Amino acid sequence: MSWSAAAHETALLTVAQMAAADRAAIAAGTPGTQLMQNAGMAVVREIARRWSPRPVTVLCGPGNNGGDGFVAAVELKSAGWAVRVALLGALEAQGGDARHHATRWRGPVEAFGLSAIEGAELIVDALYGSGLNRELDASAAGLLAAAAQRKIPLIAIDVPSGVVGDSGESLGAVAAHCTVTFVRKKPGHLLYPGRGLCGDTVVAQIGSPATMLDSIVVDACENDPGLWRQDLPRPGSTGNKFSRGHALLIGGYPMTGAARMAARAAARAGAGLTTIAVPEAGFPIYAAALTSIMVQSLAKRGDLEHLLEDSRYTGLLIGPGAGVDATTRETALALLHSAKPVVLDADAISVFAKNPGALWGAIRGPCVLTPHEGEFARIFDLRGDKLKRARAAAALSGAVIVLKGADTVIAAPDGRCIINSNAPAGLATAGSGDVLGGFILGLLAQGMDAFLAAAAGVWLHGAAGSEFGPGLLAEDLPDLLPAVLRRLNA
């Protein structure tokens, strides 16, 4: 499993991997007490950057997260802030590095209850870190809920207490204004609902050695151009339209808009030529609506097979507006049988709901499936968090899975995953997914690796949406892509 240096920079570490990184840092000569001191100081710096001095209550838990909180309390008090500390559990029960820092706190430790947040204008949530795997106990949940009800700003250490670091699941968490985590993000910082509960997530470095990831298998990353920029197709000075690939889409009828948007997207993504093959009845509509996109009529039996035998077509797409019927199923299987790079979207996924095994068995070449949650559930009987389900689906099907949503997950059959985080809310509009399929197709048609093409397509889709802002329509997206690509290539 080969990753670039950028994968280490954008790595998402599981709770176990982060613990291993801490052990590596300690083994390399940085004491655990110093790592904890550095973590608490990072929280203090973020507090000072965001807020002026005010009454603050630090809620400390029984583990290392609480130790970070004690450091923050000591340093804030030293800086002149009015600080109160409330501890969940007994001070005597604090152990290890957390105990060391708890003994440095010279003020009173208050009883854990509503009185601890009376008069507070800021709360530091240092109760539980990302390794929590059970519901918050009633006292912690009640106090956090009371703080939220009173609209007291909250800054969380590692994750908001109750957010599961590996999945983003909430076990009773309340929303933080800001979360300070350390070394690298975890999947739960990007996967909903955790992402929505973290507020602004700040990653602080706490003195871990640069080599800390050398012994860790990084198999999940946050989507970033550094992961795929070097593989992004670029026109060569001696190239021509044929050398830039030929994208072939199967157009639906009577729904024609979805495929037309996907075709424009493929062309904007760089495909040298783009063709839509359509039922004979739909040919006049497509031909009248498109200019640089070519239209081929599937007028008689064998026309599709003839197109697929043409080696000049280098990437294929079916799904947008296709219809959930036998024709779509047969056409999708024919595209997969060609062993050319294929994107299956929308109806071309749902059509296999009664026999998903037929889909898996037909995949012979690079394949990208782009389901939303509803389509995913129709063909995959999988349980667990979004990352786990996407990874399992990719392994089962042999395809790259793009499980769409505000926290889109791109999963490869070999276990690598990328979580996207740049998609604006405005992308939740009809036809947006069709454009995404077209972006991925355009990159595939130019010879880009399927996993990286999917990741790039998703990121470019989000960046194009952000380029426009409010009022976005899906048909705006293809024309927004050139500005995004220009900045990437600058």
Model pLDDT for residues 222-245, shown as the tens digit of each residue: 999 999 999 999 887 777 887 889
DSSP string, 186-203: -GGGTSTTHHHHH-EEEE
* Mean pLDDT (whole number) for 108-137: 95
Flag whether pLDDT at 129 surpasses 70.
yes
pLDDT for the residue 3? 55
Q: In degrees to the nearest 10, what's the CA dihedral of 464, 468, 469, 473?
A: -90
pLDDT for the residue 480? 97
Q: Using one digit for the tens of pLDDT, what is the confidence trace for 297-307?
A: 999 889 999 99
Residues 157 and 180 sit within 8 Å (Cβ to Cβ): yes
Q: Which amino acid is at 246?
A: H
Nearest 5°: the CA angle 299, 305, 311 is: 120
* Mean pLDDT (whole number) for 145-172: 97
* pTM of the entire predicted model: 0.96
3-state secondary structure 282-343: HHHHHHHHCCCCEEEEECCCCHHHHHHCCCCCCEEEECCCCCCCHHHHHHHHHHHHCCCCEE
Same domain (yes/no): 262, 289: yes
Flag whether pLDDT at 167 surpasses 50.
yes
The tokens 């037929």 sit on which residue? 358
Question: How far apart, in whole angstroms, are the C-alpha atoms of residue 318 and residue 248?
Answer: 9
pLDDT for the residue 1? 40
Share of the chain above pLDDT 70, in %: 99
What CATH code is carried by the domain that includes residue 24? Answer: 3.40.50.10260
Mean pLDDT of the chain: 95
What CATH code is carried by the domain that includes residue 328? Answer: 3.40.1190.20
Same domain (yes/no): 205, 315: no
Q: Using one digit for the tens of pLDDT, what is the confidence trace for 382-413?
A: 999 999 999 999 999 999 999 999 999 999 99
Residues 96 and 185 sit within 8 Å (Cβ to Cβ): no
* Mean pLDDT (whole number) for 196-216: 89
DSSP 181: E
Of the candidates 92, 131, 123, 132, the residue with the CA atom closest to the CA atom of residue 109: 92
Flag whether pLDDT at 212 surpasses 80.
no
Same domain (yes/no): 348, 407: yes
pLDDT for the residue 2? 46
Residues 6+ away with beta carbon under 8 Å from 352: 329, 332, 358, 359, 378, 379
The tokens 């070394």 sit on which residue? 183
Same domain (yes/no): 174, 104: yes
Domain coverage including residue 17: 5-218
Same domain (yes/no): 214, 248: no
pLDDT for the residue 230? 94
Q: Using one digit for the tens of pLDDT, what is the confidence trace for 85-103?
A: 999 988 877 888 999 999 9
Q: In degrees to the nearest 10, what's the CA dihedral of 311, 347, 370, 264?
A: 60
φ/ψ (deg, to 5) at 385: -70, 170
Same domain (yes/no): 157, 251: no
Flag whether pLDDT at 37 surpasses 90.
yes
Same domain (yes/no): 338, 305: yes
Question: How far apart, in whole angstroms, are the C-alpha atoms of residue 155 and residue 176?
Answer: 6
Flag whether pLDDT at 121 surpasses 60.
yes
Same domain (yes/no): 196, 239: no
Question: How far apart, in whole angstroms, are the C-alpha atoms of residue 386 and residue 407?
Answer: 9
